[in-house]
Amino acid sequence: MPSCLITGVTGQDGAYLSRFLLGQGYRVFGLLRRSASSDVVGERLDWLGIRDRVTLVDGNLVDLSSLIRAVRDCEPDEVYNLAAQSFVAASWRQPLLTGQVTGLGAANMLEALRIARPQARFYQASSSEMFGQARAPRQNETTPFHPRSPYAAAKLYAHWMTVNHRESFGAFACSGILFNHESPLRGIEFVTRKITDGVARIKLGLARELPLGNLEARRDWGHARDYVRAMWLMLRQDAPDDYVIATGRTTSIREFCRLAFYYAQLSHEDHVVAGPGLLRPAEVDVLQGDAAKARRVLGWEPTISLEDMVAEMVEADLARHRARMRA
């Protein structure tokens, strides 16, 4: 039975990847950082009904000793490094923490593997945010990077450390440059989930307005369920490499609002307002990925449309709020 260790197992991607790998017959270990709210941190695994099937091990990305211990104990064939301070807006308020977790944390994991488990295959969760002020209309593996936030700068360090372990030590280390991907399990602070949650509240009479920042920014949004499959495919290849994962379609925040409100028979123009303090010090205006290499080499294709994802997210938020109202 193959085994894997997933850092960030309590996050959106960690939960979907766990379920996917369990389905592929893996023994799944998940790194769990100590929290005073340990009763709620497994909520996403619960939502997918797999909490009992994932073996949780103590550890924190900023504590190299804990990573070495985890790797020694779990003896994973594959390690997926998904843990991060992953919210761009927070990275200006906590830039050093973001650097320590999102940047150095990845280097710690690579070192832990180099010391204790060099044969393990490694996946690094890189981000389209690294393209930032993108220098090509559609970004692929050859597009130059121009990070626009402490988060993106930290991810870029982690990306190059991954490449460097491959080139220096022959590690089977892959960097997946994933464009934004969402789902009902997306953190509520990200714009898509904030919108679908807002739509549900307004529909149920719990709120009247939804404060948002820049509505003109555009993102290439896919579904997390599709994207975790790409992570696994990267580690299935004969040689390690880096891949862009994207849908190729770019949509504005305003258009996402229109779709989500329309799904609930509401109009975004009646409810979306300018929220104070939601504009960022530097913005990534447009992202649109070109995943031709992933299609060609991995045989990967997105299968879930933006419209279907919006519907799934709005339905899930309506169900959550209805359940809370009944409780």
Count each helix (H run) and each strand (E run) in the chain, helices first.
12, 13
Q: Does 286 bind ligand GDP (CB under 6 A)?
A: no
Closest CA to 253 of 276, 275, 277, 221: 221
Q: Cα-Cα-Cα-Cα dihedral of 311, 196, 125, 26, to 10°?
A: -50
Q: Is 32 helix (H, G, I), strand (E, B) or coil?
A: strand
Based on the shown chain and the rule CB under 6 A, indicate whether residue 141 belongs to the binding site for ligand GDP: no
Q: Which two tokens stand for residue 210?
A: 């939804």
Q: How far is the CB of 167 from ligand GDP (least distance, A)?
A: 28
Residue number, nearest CB to ligand NDP: 11
Q: Which stretch binds ligand GDP (CB under 6 A): 9-17, 224-232, 239-247, 276-284?
A: 276-284
Of 287, 306, 255, which Cα lies nearest the Cα of 88? 287
Rounded Cα distance between 174 and 279, Å, is: 33
**Phi/psi of residue 286, each to 5°?**
-140, 135
83 binds ligand NDP per the rule CB under 6 A: yes
Q: How far apart are CA 174 and CA 165, in angstroms?
A: 10
| Contacts (CB under 6 A) with ligand NDP, residues 125-154 | 125, 127
- Residue of the chain from 47, 157, 160, 190 that contacts ligand GDP (CB under 6 A): 190
Query: Do 302 and 308 touch, CB atoms closer than 8 A?
Result: no
Q: Which is nearer to ligand GDP, 22 or 215 (CB)?
A: 215
Stretch that binds ligand GDP, among 29-37, 96-104, 188-196, 291-299 (CB under 6 A): 188-196
Binding residues vs ligand NDP (CB under 6 A):
7-14, 31, 33, 35, 41, 60-62, 82-86, 101, 105, 125, 127, 178, 180-181, 187
Binding residues vs ligand GDP (CB under 6 A):
88-89, 129, 180, 189-191, 194, 212-214, 217, 219, 253, 275, 278, 280, 283-284
Give the residue numbers annotated as catalytic, written as ranges. Answer: 127, 129, 151
